[in-house]
Amino acid sequence: MVMCAMSSTPASRPLAERRSSDVIVTHPNRDKPVVQSTRATVILLLLVTTGLMLVITISGWNVFESAVPIQIAYIVVYLTLAFFAGRWNRGVLPVGSALAVLLAIFALVAAPGWFNRDKTGFEAPNYLNANLLGLLTLLIVPVQVLLVLFAMRGFSQGWNVEVERPSSGARADIYGDPEAPRSASRLT
């Protein structure tokens, strides 16, 4: 004797006939204060990094040799990541983390060069002292560590979880009647 039971009631209307207005998509994790604060922190860290890179790039423009396109690309990418994080796109979090690790390495390598510019024989930056630019470059490192930590925290919070619920005007047969008894068929 073999028994077969369906786990859900089939919908009476075909999928093509169902209207999207019959379904309300909600994101339950996005309403939590801890998730909203994580998103705000990730956006803030991306914007702080962008601001630091802008100050360093503009102040040291005359002494950069070939790093200007890389810094401009990082600024544009970080602004784009902040925009998409503001739109609850979870995919930017691992990308932002990977770029943050690279930028932290670049900053650790570049900072001693700024401090060496204080000696004779080096051209001085236009707007800020070389030691201050070295300090700002070193400040990028802890900001990137925080960015990695908060981005991974946001990634684990499930920003992309969606729950479909019938709208108040949706027919009950779309999702099946939860009160209807489940039938089991006998096959012999």
Q: What is the pLDDT of residue 44?
A: 96
Q: What is the pLDDT of residue 178?
A: 54
pLDDT at 9 > cutoff 90 = no
Q: Name every residue whose Cβ is closer than 8 Å to that of residue 177 and which is 6 or more positions away in sequence.
A: 9
Which range is least confidently modeled, 17-21, 91-95, 96-100, 120-124? 17-21
Tokens of 32: 């939590």
DSSP state letter for 18: -
Between 108 and 70, residue with greater pLDDT: 108
Q: What is the pLDDT of residue 177?
A: 52
Q: Is the pTM of this model over 0.75?
A: no
In this structure, the number of other CB atoms found within 10 A of the CB of residue 65 comes to 5
The confidence band for 102, taking pLDDT boundaries of 50, 70 and 90, is: very high
Q: What is the pLDDT of residue 31?
A: 73
Mean pLDDT of 81-104: 89
Between 102 and 35, residue with greater pLDDT: 102
Q: How far apart are CA 19 and CA 43, in angstroms?
A: 36
In this structure, the number of other CB atoms found within 10 A of the CB of residue 39 comes to 21
DSSP state letter for 126: S
pLDDT digits over 108-156, tens only? Answer: 988 877 777 766 666 666 767 777 888 888 999 999 999 999 998 888 8
Q: What is the pLDDT of residue 113?
A: 77
Mean confidence (pLDDT) of the chain:
76
Q: What is the pLDDT of residue 131?
A: 78
